[in-house]
Chains A and B, each alone.
Chain A
Amino acid sequence: MDIAALFSELFSLSTLFFIALGTFVGLIIGALPGLGTMFAIVMLLPITYVISPLDSVLLLLAAYQASEYGGSISSIILGIPGTPAAAATVLDGYTLAKNESPGKAITYSLIASTIGGIFGGIVLIFLSKPLASFGLKLSDPEFFLICILGVLAVGMLSSEDKTKSLISVVFGLILGTIGMDVFTGKMRFTLGFLELSDGINIVALMIGVFAFSEILSMLEEGPDKRHSFDKRSLKFGITWKEFSGVKKPISLGSLIGSVVGVFPGLGAPAASWFGYVAAKRFSKKKELFGKGNPEGIAGPESANNATVGGSLVPLLSLGIPGSPAVAVIMGAFIIHGIQPGPLVFSNETTLVYSILYGFLLTTVAMYVLGRMLTVFFVKAIIVPYSYLVPIVLLLLIMGVYASKQLIFEISLAFVLGVICYFLKKLDFSLPSIVMAFVLGPIMEESLRRSLSLSQGSYAIFFTRPYSLALVIIIAVIVLVSLVKKLGPSKHVSS
């Protein structure tokens, strides 16, 4: 492999231009509430038909990477996730922005995203082959157990009304079952709507549950409301001390994100929630979560950017896309006549390595452009609600429409939004609904498929080494939390 040729190709003007273009588009589209990662990548896809393979892939990768950060901009400034994976960032990001400093919140997010992205890239470059073969060993039984862990984690998320959080989880699980049942082909609660046979569109759900309800809450503060900040708070930048305060969640998030990204089917939204939960679990300031704790921004943001690198692992080593966004990128490969798969490393060595190192460039581009452009976005927080609300409302409507051109979906999001507006008032947990919605189908499907494979025997969870390990971990966690609950009361009664 000729290193000189590789670098000269990588740093050519055209490649750098396309990386910048992808980053710019990804940032903006990600930041516009509702549009999201898929939209950005699909929008750029036609351009890839006429440019070189390397430029095509890096263009789309840059957009993917930047949009995972871009989504947090909307989360932080408007309290509305710009992409599904940025939903966790709302919890602490928006609060920190409103109460203290939007500039700081954005800084935490950008730095965490960049580090997460780089970590994902490094994992991709050095650990592709071993991770990919490891990934193949895990299948439905393990996924089911991982989802159980996830759902348990959701229980740890909310410190408010625990029962209502659990109800929210169940509600989310119910919403996740709507659609055509994979195994029997029968419709479940689709009420005759063909549009629901694939299930509720995650974009419509997210926009409905988080965004529409948030807009209605905003209206309650009155149309004349506007946030005001001194210039300092709008500026980008955090101190070294503040940075070391988030080192732990960033490391955790990056690790979680890269690993979760490797498994097809889990994806950035799940990873960002895991990142949030992990950050909270290992934090010394748990009580501050939900009130503007920077760790609650760093955890999910590093996780969701790390999944970008992780999701490329199965693509490059096995030819299997790790997420819908990567499936589109795979399409770009195929259009240029390159088949990702086990042979691509030997057939197209220069191209593959250029992509790997180019990936790192995309994270750098994201940081640079992010820093330059976020100044403008932050200013949006000062816009009075009387303008902000209609504009965002329209963007949300268009965001749902962009995903699938069906007015049905907009109405669905709207109805969900109104329902969740009331639920939120009564202290139900909206994040639990979304996380359950994402994990539920995976959980049910993997359980049923596991049993289908084992012909009905539950022993499958104990005979497979990784499953057994997971079962033990779950048992330990459950026991530990039960002991914790019983411990203090014993103390009191004595």
Chain B
Amino acid sequence: MKKKLLTAGLLLLAFVVIAAGCSGKSSGKAGEDYSKYPEKPITWIVAYNAGDAPDLPARTLLPYVEKYMPNNGKLTIVNKGGSGGTLGMNEVFKSKPDGYTIGTAAAAAITTLPLLGDTPYSYDELDPLLNYVKAAQFLVVPADAPYNTFEEWLAYVKENPDDFTYGISGNANAQHIAMENFSSKADVKLRPIVYKGENETLTNLLGKQIKGGILNHALLYEHYRSGALKPIVNITGVKPDYLADVPTFQDKGYDVVANFFNGIFVPAGTPEGIKAILQDAFKKALEDPELQEKFKELQLIPSYLSAEDFKREIEKEVESNRATLEMMGILQN
């Protein structure tokens, strides 16, 4: 009996040691030889549910990234949605910086939500690797509204303070921040109505429950073509083909721009060599003509930003958002 116990104990010990050893293998060795990377599939966490807006570009991009990955590298997308992308990014934040976990975040999870203090990570604790897609968002009104251009609309809201209701898809999100920023710079009084997503904004706009709404370009497309809605101003700095002549705030002289990006982030401490390999694969994928064709069909706007450029943009945004949030009374400095 004693002998059996001893053997069992030794086996257990051996098992534990081997298991511990195995998990240690992938945590980066000194010597920095990344010629074999990736040796197993890379987990690509999309911090949104299947079918949500950021899911589509990621899944479309995936096969092209694999095409340009060395060593027949493969990636697997795992959807981890919830809490505006912060749940998924939290996973990335907690993951080992071994190059086998990357995450897609849209702007909210990085440049607005962490500022509100409810995330376990702060915006600079995730390493921005690159940006791949941007979206344009427009302030849209029903087709029969009495204003057709930005100037006409501006005149209307100046004359009628607290009258223009516009729908946004979340409190203190980039849409809200941009509009509040503009309102203070243009000295007009608008009334934001908070909904739980752009679909709700769209429904209520079509039903004329609100006078305006902020919608992203893909969602707007069909309704613009059918003549039900018309865009007034582009609140971002990105101009999609079919709405290229709609002015942006900046075009009209207001320093307000919202940024809706989809970027890749990695846990802090991921080795530079691995980052370079990933960036290279993604960059080439975005330049692939077939992929560009696909993006065009799906109304996606590719927009590559290198790690340094991306980081700089994020920093700028966080500063600007922080200022506006303080002005709105949401953040106390």
Q: A342 contacts B199, CB within 8 Å?
A: no
**Are B171 and A194 within 8 A (Cβ)?**
no
B274 contacts the other chain (CB 8 A):
no
Judged by a CB distance under 8 angstroms, whether B291 is at the interface is no
Are B298 and A453 touching (Cβ within 8 A)? no
Query: In the bound complex, do residue A194 and residue B226 qualify as a contact, i.e. CB atoms below 8 Å apart?
Result: no
Q: Which of A321, A341, A404 interacts with B226 by CB under 8 Å?
A: A341
Q: Are B86 and A343 in touch, CB under 8 angstroms?
A: no
B196:A137 contact, CB within 8 angstroms: no
Is A343 a contact of B226 with CB atoms below 8 Å?
Answer: yes
Cβ B221 vs Cβ A339 within 8 A: yes
* Complex partner residue of B199 from A49, A183, A320, CB under 8 angstroms: A320
| Contact flag A182-B196 (CB < 8 Å), given A136-B206, A328-B51 | yes
Residues of A within 8 A of B118 (CB): 180, 187, 194, 197
Mask: chain B, 79-112; 1 = CB below 8 Å from A; 0 = not? 0111100110010000000000000000000000
Chain B 175-206 near chain A by CB (<8 Å), digits 1 or 0: 00000000000000001011110011011101
Question: In the complex, how many angstroms separate the beta carbon of A247 from the nearest chain B beta carbon?
Answer: 35
A392 to B193 Cα, complex, angstroms: 45
Interface hits, A191-234 → B, CB 8 Å: 194-195, 197-198
In whole angstroms, how far apart are the Cα atoms of A135 and B206 in the complex? 10
The verdict on A148 contacting chain B, using a C-beta distance below 8 Å, is no
In A147-195, the 8 Å CB interface with B consists of 180, 182-185, 187, 194-195
Contact B55 A331 (CB under 8 A): yes
Q: Is A384 an interface residue (CB 8 A)?
A: no
> B116 near A185 (CB under 8 angstroms)?
yes
A342 with B228, Cβ < 8 A, contacts A184-B171, A318-B203 known: yes
Cα of A184 to Cα of B223 in the assembled complex, Å: 30
Q: Which one, A320, A335, A344, A445, contacts B202 given CB within 8 A?
A: A320
Take A327-B51, A342-B223, A453-B210 as given contacts and tell me if A198 and B83 are in contact as well, using a CB distance cutoff of 8 Å: yes
- A337 touches B (CB below 8 Å): yes
The yes or no answer to B56 lying at the interface (CB within 8 A) is yes
Known: A194-B118, A197-B118, A449-B193. A343 touches B222 (CB 8 A): yes
Quote the shortest CB–CB distance from A330 to chain B (angstroms). Answer: 7
Complex alpha-carbon distance, A224 and B270, angstroms: 55
Chain A: residues with Cβ within 8 Å of the partner, total of 46
| Complex partner residue of B90 from A194, A314, A343, CB under 8 angstroms | A194
Q: Is A237 in the interface zone, CB < 8 Å from B? A: no
Given A183-B171, A445-B196, A452-B193, A195-B203 contact (CB < 8 Å) = no
**Are A337 and B297 interface neighbours, CB within 8 A?**
yes
Q: In the bound complex, do residue B82 and residue A404 qualify as a contact, i.e. CB atoms below 8 Å apart?
A: yes
Distance in angstroms between the alpha carbons of A344 and B297 in the assembled complex: 16
Set of chain A residues within 8 Å of B210, measured between Cβ atoms: 453
Contacts A197-B83, A264-B203, A327-B51 aside, 20 further interface pairs with beta carbons under 8 A come to: A45-B51, A136-B207, A180-B118, A194-B86, A194-B90, A194-B118, A318-B202, A331-B56, A341-B222, A342-B222, A342-B226, A343-B225, A344-B222, A404-B87, A405-B80, A452-B191, A452-B193, A453-B165, A453-B193, A453-B210
Listed in ascending order, the chain B residues whose CB lies under 8 Å from chain A are: 50-52, 55-56, 59, 80-83, 86-87, 90, 116, 118-120, 162, 165, 170-172, 191, 193-196, 199-200, 202-204, 206-210, 219, 221-223, 225-226, 228, 297-298, 330
**A interface, CB within 8 angstroms of B:** 42, 45, 49, 135-140, 180, 182-185, 187, 194-195, 197-198, 264-265, 314, 318-321, 327-328, 330-331, 334-335, 337, 339-344, 404-405, 445, 449, 452-453, 455
